[in-house]
Amino acid sequence: MTRHSARKKIYVLSTGGTIGMQKTPEGYAPEAGYLAKSMSKIPELQNLDMPIYTVHEYEKPIDSANMTPADWFQMGDYIQKNYQEYDGFVILHGTDTMSYTASALSFMLENLGKPVILTGSQLPLFETRNDARENLINALLIAGHYSVPEVCLYFNNKLFRGNRSTKMDATSFAAFSSPNFPALGQVGTDIKIRHELILKPTGDQLHLRQIKPIMVSTLRIFPGIPHEMLKTILQLPLDALILETFGLGNAPEDPHFIKLIHQAVEKGMVLVNRSQCPYAKVKMSQYATGTVLLKAGVISAGDMTIDAAITKLFYLFSKNLSHSEIKAQMMVDLRGELTV
């Protein structure tokens, strides 16, 4: 670890979330300026072995359930504007959609060469028993002292690749998991980073890709799903539809169902096959019930999380690619989101 003779500068962007909330008669609620004030009272953060940090708090904190692609861009814009002045970035964020934001930023921040670490907590910093303090301290330490030039999510002693993470538990301190890819780091008595897993920067100049609004939806397949339900969804002006299928990417062989999918593909809609199982990789050719989808023109999401699949679609459609290029790029590993 780098000692205080060469202290790094970290930009802390506090967007909202439980970590900076106060207790009110109506329950936990955000309070502008509270987080920076609280951080200044944590002795560990003032230690000379910690990086120097600057806190920027949103004037109106955002409940992460209200996050939109415009908010993703705003976060990216803060990083881009402060990129040359700081050595790393920590984003404090509500847990509900943190993995969506981490996934989106991993695509939007092209040629990223510095750490961007999202974290938050299940209990606020003011509570006597909380997870906020450790998450905050360790996220700052990793951003300031380790070479991790990608978008990550840190929670409960584990550093995950952002676009491999997903929220698995609403009450446990171990709220996040990385189902199909190992953690990039583990914090115990030592901080251990698996440098062989870390992405290498692909360019020198950071570029922020603005996300355009698109119409994307998901449909969870279940036994006995009526094809009329699919028909109704496909009548919407969708750009893409993610089918959440069984096992390795299987769905009912209902001829009406398959016909509707084939027609949607023919009209230019991008249909993506993603397994309902968190620990799975779609292999449509394994069973006949998957092969019918493959023949109908559905593409595989591989082992991407649903968070990554959705945000990757936003990103690719924003690049003004043709539908055939989008379908091809969905099956290419761009930021470590996909095992190929």
Q: Which two tokens stand for residue 232?
A: 């109704």
Alpha helix positions (H), 146-296 = 227-234, 255-266, 288-295
Angle (CA) 258 259 261, round 5°: 65
Among the listed residues 52, 55, 57, 54, the one whose alpha carbon sits nearest the alpha carbon of residue 15:
57
Amino acid code (one letter) for 298: V
Among the listed residues 280, 282, 279, the one whose alpha carbon sits nearest the alpha carbon of residue 271:
282
Q: Determine the length of the chain.
A: 340
The secondary element (H helix, E strand) that includes residue 36 is helix 34-39
CA atoms within 13 A on the CB side of 200: 2
CA 17 to chain centre: 16
Q: For this structure, is 18 an active site residue?
A: yes
Q: Which two tokens stand for residue 25?
A: 């008669």
2, 15, 18, 171: the catalytic one is 18
CA 183 to chain centre: 14
Q: Which two tokens stand for residue 149?
A: 């030039």
Catalytic center residues: 18
